[in-house]
């Protein structure tokens, strides 16, 4: 997760409290950072990096702490969930969730980045028929072995693959298992085909386009990519950058509760005494005829307030992350 935190450094003279800089030039005071907790489901535009998107959201709320749940390339648009404050503790639950994309493959050329940003490394005069593509799709669904793009964030001996590739070094990545739940054709033309895909963590859409092109014998790369779902969040519920910049009221209306990220795992309602124990980092025994005995991931609430996430072991709730809300 890309994180952005206040560092607590002493303010530079004349740059925090307003007034005049050396030379007499006036400037506006920097807004005071504050504790803000929740999720913002951003519809990231093409051309913006995920890090810049986090900065936009953080600035809109004057928030102390923010981070995103899964990088979205600058050339891609769509869903980028951004966590503020205590919501950053729930980021893994979102990143581990399933994702959905709509993407267009341009046939006839392969690039070194497997998208339009890279340079063309091979071309083909062949173009695939829709029937040939459809017949191939079952090979790309289920659990498959996928080699990530050379221009990816995967580390090789401590270095990012994209840094090595940009420096001209030979990058060799091993195939790894990924899960693609669904892959279907939306539209087709002689030059391009648009797909919808639903997949698990670690799947590269650019690799799907590359491998489809190679298997069809016509080569291909991603020309357009839009993420439409991440875990419990859907792009239909997303807010635009322009809306966030309209002002504090518009931004506040886009803030979702911290527990929104946990909607796909079970909730356990506990009483006040149990909540106080969890706040101290202590485990609690779950009582009652229907109390679960084992569970890998659950969360607890008291009076509608999120208390902790954790696991249930032999009827005991063991807190992993405790929230200060």
Give the model's pLDDT for residue 238. 95
Superfamily per CATH, domain 99-229: Pseudouridine synthase (3.30.2350.10)
Q: What are phi and psi of 14, to 5 degrees?
A: 75, 5
Closest CA to 108 of 249, 194, 209: 209
Closest CA to 113 of 18, 210, 195: 210
Asked whether the CA dihedral 121, 124, 128, 133 is positive or negative, the reply is negative
Quick one: pLDDT band at residue 158, thresholds 50, 70, 90? confident
Range(s) of the chain covered by CATH 3.30.2350.10: 99-229
Q: pLDDT averaged over the chain?
A: 88
**pLDDT tens string 35-59:** 999 999 999 999 999 999 999 999 9
**pLDDT tens string 287-305:** 877 888 889 999 999 999 9
Give the model's pLDDT for residue 31. 72
Strands 109-111 and 120-123: antiparallel
3-state secondary structure of 121: strand
Of the candidate ranges 131-135, 170-174, 181-185, 237-241, the one whose mean pLDDT is the lowest: 170-174
Q: How many CA atoms lie within 13 A of 56 on its CB side?
A: 24
Which residues are part of the catalytic machinery? 73
**pLDDT tens string 240-258:** 999 999 988 889 999 999 9
pTM (global) more than 0.85: no
Range(s) of the chain covered by CATH 2.30.130.10: 265-322
pLDDT over 70 percentage in the chain = 88
Quick one: pLDDT band at residue 155, thresholds 50, 70, 90? confident
74 DSSP 8-state letter: T
Buried b (16+ CB within 10 A) or exposed e, 135-162: eebeebbeebebebbbbbebeeeeeebb
Domain topology for 265-322: 2.30.130
Q: What CATH number has the domain spanning 3-94+233-260? A: 3.30.70
Give the model's pLDDT for residue 287. 84
* Gap between the Cα atoms of 202 and 30, Å rounded: 39
pLDDT at 285 > cutoff 70: yes
The H or E element spanning position 216 is: helix 205-216
Range(s) of the chain covered by CATH 3.30.70: 3-94+233-260
Mean pLDDT of 115-120: 92
* Gap between the Cα atoms of 224 and 306, Å rounded: 39
């Amino acid at each position: 997760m890309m994180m952005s935190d206040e560092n607590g450094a002493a303010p530079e003279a004349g740059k925090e409290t307003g007034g005049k800089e050396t030379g007499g030039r006036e400037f506006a005071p920097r807004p005071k950072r504050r504790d803000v907790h929740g999720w913002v489901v951003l519809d990231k535009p093409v051309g913006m990096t995920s890090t810049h998107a986090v900065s936009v959201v953080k600035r809109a709320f004057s928030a102390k702490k923010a981070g995103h749940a899964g990088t979205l390339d600058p050339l891609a648009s769509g869903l980028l969930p951004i966590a503020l404050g205590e919501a950053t503790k729930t980021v893994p639950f979102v990143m581990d969730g399933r994702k959905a994309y709509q993407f267009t493959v341009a046939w006839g050329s392969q690039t070194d980045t497997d998208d339009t940003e890279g340079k063309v490394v091979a071309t083909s005069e062949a173009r695939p028929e829709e029937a040939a593509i459809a017949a191939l799709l079952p090979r790309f669904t289920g659990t498959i072995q996928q080699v990530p793009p050379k221009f990816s964030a995967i580390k090789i001996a401590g270095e990012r693959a994209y840094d090595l590739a940009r420096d001209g070094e030979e990058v060799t990545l091993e195939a790894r298992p990924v899960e693609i739940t669904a892959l279907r054709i939306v539209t087709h033309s002689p030059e391009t085909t648009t797909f919808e895909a639903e997949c698990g963590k670690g799947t590269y859409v650019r690799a799907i386009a590359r491998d489809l092109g190679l298997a069809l014998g016509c080569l291909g790369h991603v020309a357009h990519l839009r993420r439409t779902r991440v875990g419990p969040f859907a792009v239909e519920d997303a807010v635009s950058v322009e809306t966030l910049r309209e002002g504090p009221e518009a931004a506040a209306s886009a803030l979702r509760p911290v527990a929104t990220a946990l909607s796909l795992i079970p909730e356990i309602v506990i009483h006040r005494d149990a909540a106080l124990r969890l706040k101290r980092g202590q485990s609690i025994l779950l009582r009652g005829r229907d109390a679960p005995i084992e569970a890998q991931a659950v969360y607890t609430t008291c009076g509608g307030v999120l208390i902790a996430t954790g696991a249930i072991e032999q009827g005991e709730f063991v807190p992993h992350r405790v929230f200060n809300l």
